[in-house]
Amino acid sequence: MYPSLAAAKAAVIAIGEEIATYGLPSGICPIVFAFTGSGNVSQGAQEIFKLLPHTFVDADKLPELSAGKSLPPHHQSTRRAFQLYGCVVTSKDMVAPKDPSRCFDKADYYAHPEHYRPVFHERIAPYASAIVNCMYWERRFPRLLSIDQLQQLMKNGCPLVGISDITCDIGGSIEFVNRSTSIERPFFRYDTSTNLYHDDMEGDGVICLAVDILPTEFSREVRNL
């Protein structure tokens, strides 16, 4: 734990300096952080991410960015990567009209979400190393990621390592998040192959952070907003 936001930022900056100096193994790259939503929560998460060496890419560029990883080993670059990638994901990247003749319309989506189907698991999740879930969600909207979708993604070799569910909607936009966590024990592990939850971080699966009302951990900074 950190005594202040400044101390937490200093720790992240130190990690960024290591990445910039020594790089990351090519076998785990590109490392892509997908941030859902564009409001204050997402902007705050991005503020911390920007302390690391990074480049932001549009959602439609993710397949191109990850294309090199799918090449045979003898065609892949052995060079280390010295930055991370960020992608801000908004509703147009999460859903598509059920009627293929129609285009996405944000106002129509909010008024009639039943006219749309989820596509996050097709367009974004296959390329994400980490998902930072910052968006507002109600049950009338399609889920961002269902359990079935996540299980299939992991079977297909999705690079997803962890999810930070800052929204902490239990059984909500990210369906497998079935509990909140504490700052003392902030993570749990969900094994998609067995559909089991674990408190240790040693085995297979997706690591999840789901601390409720996370911004209040920096209470002094929250009071000053």
Residue 74's pLDDT is 44
Task: Spell out the long-range contacts of 197-206 with Cβ–Cβ below 8 A and sequence spacing 24 or more.
Answer: 206/150, 206/154, 206/160, 206/161, 206/162, 206/163, 206/176
Q: Binning pLDDT at 50, 70 and 90, where does residue 4 land?
A: confident
Q: Which of these, 81, 4, 7, lies nearest to 51 by C-alpha position?
A: 7
Q: Is the pLDDT confidence value at 217 over 80?
A: no
- Write out pLDDT tens, residues 57-80: 999 999 999 986 544 454 445 578
Task: Report the C-alpha gap between 111 and 97 in whole angstroms.
Answer: 13
Task: Spell out the long-range contacts of 71-80 with Cβ–Cβ below 8 A and sequence spacing 24 or more.
Answer: 76/26, 77/26, 78/26, 79/23, 79/26, 80/22, 80/23, 80/24, 80/25, 80/26
Q: Is the pLDDT confidence value at 218 over 80?
A: no
Share of the chain above pLDDT 90, in %: 82
> DSSP string of the chain?
--SSHHHHHHHHHHHHHHHHHH-B-GGG-S-EEEEE--SHHHHHHHHHHTTSSEEE--GGGHHHHHGGGGS-GGGS--PPB--EEEEEE-HHHHEEESSTTSPP-HHHHHH-GGGEEE-HHHHTGGG-SEEEE-----TTSPPSB-HHHHHHHHHTT----EEEETT--TTSSBTT--S-B-SSS-EEEEETTTTEEES-SSSSSEEEE-BTTGGGGGHHHHHT-
Which pTM does this prediction carry?
A: 0.91
Strands 32-36 and 196-198: unpaired
Residue 2's pLDDT is 83
Share of the chain above pLDDT 70, in %: 90
- Write out pLDDT tens, residues 147-203: 999 999 999 999 999 999 999 899 999 999 999 999 899 999 999 999 999 999 999
Mean pLDDT over each residue of the chain, to the nearest integer: 92
CA 16 to mean position of chain CA atoms: 19
Task: Using the structure block, give the residue that is written with the tokens 């889920």.
Answer: 143
Region 44-60 average pLDDT: 97
Residue 223's pLDDT is 52
Cβ 59 vs Cβ 87: under 8 Å: yes
- Write out pLDDT tens, residues 125-158: 999 999 999 999 999 999 999 999 999 999 999 9
Q: Binning pLDDT at 50, 70 and 90, where does residue 224 land?
A: low
The residue ranking higher by pLDDT, 3 or 58, is 58
Domains of the chain: 5-223 (3.40.50)
